[in-house]
Amino acid sequence: MNIVLFDGFCNLCNSTAVFLIKYDVNNNLHFAAQQTESGKTIMQQHAILDDNNSIILVKGNKVFYKSDAVIEIAKFITGWPSIFQYSSILPKGFRNALYDFVAKNRYRMFGKRHTCSIPCEADKKFFL
């Protein structure tokens, strides 16, 4: 199972999860907010530090962070967003610096929720 762990309080992160569901036509991805019991359990099972500043992909027993997670996630989706998998040609330091800039400023740019969002009925099957 491929699990995307994201910051459940972040508007950008929640919107990204909904966006990914739309483009994951083969239903390869499942989602869990890092703040939920499911998210915390998965993080413990894979020795992932509590880091709400990074999207995390758990792909089998392998864990991907930041821009590496974005690249791996893009391999599962269809349509124009899959182009992000080709950002691997950029130096990892540059990719992660850009990722860190957005992560650091995401609440200011996109807002923050006071509680984790609840997925709509049609999307609940994708969330753990």
Residue 39 has pLDDT above 70, yes or no: yes
Tell me how far apart the alpha carbons of residues 78 and 57 are, in angstroms, rounded to a whole number: 17
Do 11 and 114 meet the contact criterion of CB atoms below 8 Å apart? Answer: no
Q: Which pLDDT value is given to residue 127?
A: 75
Tens digits of residue pLDDT in 46-62: 999 876 778 999 999 99
Whether this model's pTM surpasses 0.85? yes
For the chain, which residues make up each domain, given as ranges? 2-126
At 93, the pLDDT band (50, 70, 90 cuts) reads very high
Q: Which pLDDT value is given to residue 50?
A: 73
Sign of CA dihedral 81, 18, 48, 114: positive
Structure tokens at 102: 């957005």
As beta bridge partners, residue 81 has none
As beta bridge partners, residue 65 has 56
Region of poorest pLDDT, from 27-31, 101-105, 113-117: 113-117
